[in-house]
Copies of this chain bind each other. A is one copy, B any other.
Amino acid sequence: MALHFTSERRLDDGVLERAFTLGEIPGILWTPASAPARASAPTPLILLGHPPLGLRAMYPRLVARARRAVADGFAAATIELPGSGDRPRRADADRARADLRRAMEAGEPVGDEIVDALILPLVDRAVPEWQAAVDALLPLPGLGGPVGYSGGVISIGVRLAVVEPRIAAAGLYAGSFVPRAMFDEARRVTVPLHVLLQWDDEGNDRQAALALFDAFGSREKTLHANMGGHTGVPRFAGDAVADFFTRHLK
């Protein structure tokens, strides 16, 4: 898929933000505004995952994570998820989301069929798109280093870590429903992992998150559990993620 830059602007802290399309998929790339010397090592790339709420809604949090990544010496990039933002809605995804809402409003347990319908098609469609983004971004001038995946829908991160050999480390957020089938994939993950868990996350199953952490096959895996709800990840937890990527991508 062809990458086309559609706009660019300099943020006040020396970050160059470029919007792009990859085929029909909108995305954003953040890099240092001043190009590194030609001879220096290529900049590692961190893929910024996010929940399926649309890039526009997620922008404030994404740009904050991107600024931190660039300050730490990385490039950062994200793409719109299938069915989100301005991309065509998918009837099956809308149906799954409605089923989920109904179950949660009724106070019923969220059944496996709902979780599978919500997550598995999203993973199947999103992962090849993230791989296409890596294909298109790594050849750009200055980029090329190892790739990290950070945050967003944890099942997308798990699948990417299994199927995409350029992913050298992953920072995962155990904050979304996990289909049972993903536990088998988790056993096949071998890259270093840094897993965040919000201990009292209202909409998340803590035991499932701990079981998923246990299942990961990685020799180096770290779980950081903190207080606060789903969106209350403390600042120092973000610092620890940054330290993790610095250890593994540089």
Interfacial residues, chain A to chain B (CB-CB below 8 A): 199, 210, 213-214, 218-227, 234, 236-237, 239-240, 243-244, 247
Q: Which B residues are in CB contact (< 8 Å) with A239?
A: 243
In the assembled complex, the Cα of A227 lies from the Cα of B193 at a distance in Å of 11
Identity of the chain B residue whose Cβ is nearest the Cβ of A220 in the assembled complex: B227
Question: Could you write out 10 A-B pairs with CB less than 8 Å apart?
Answer: A199-B223, A210-B210, A221-B227, A222-B224, A222-B226, A222-B227, A222-B236, A222-B237, A223-B225, A239-B243
Main secondary structure of the interface of A (DSSP, over half): mixed
Roughly how many angstroms separate A200 CA and B56 CA in the complex, as a whole number? Answer: 42
Contact B243 A247 (CB under 8 A): no
Contact, CB under 8 Å: B223 / A224: yes
Task: From known contacts A239-B243, A240-B240, A243-B236, infer whether A199 and B227 are also in contact, taking CB-CB under 8 Å.
Answer: no
Residues of B close to A237: CB separation below 8 A: 222
- Alpha-carbon distance between A199 and B221 when the two chains are bound, in angstroms: 10
A40 vs B227: C-alpha distance when bound (angstroms) = 34
Docked Cα-Cα span, A219 to B218, in Å, equals 31
Known: A199-B214, A210-B210. A236 touches B227 (CB 8 A): no
A218 — which chain B residues lie within 8 A by C-beta? 227
B residues less than 8 Å from A219 (CB atoms): 227
Please measure, in the bound complex, the distance between the C-alpha atom of A218 and the C-alpha atom of B225, giving whole angstroms.
13
Contact residue among B222, B226, B236 (Cβ-Cβ distance under 8 Å from A247) = B236
- Per the bound structure, the CA–CA distance linking A219 and B210 in Å amounts to 21
How distant is A192 from chain B, measured CB to nearest CB, in Å?
10
Q: Which residue of B lies closest to A244 (CB)?
A: B236
From residue A193, how far is it (CB to closest CB) to chain B in Å?
10
Complex Cα gap A221–B234 (Å)? 11
Which residues of chain B are near A210, meaning CB under 8 Å?
210
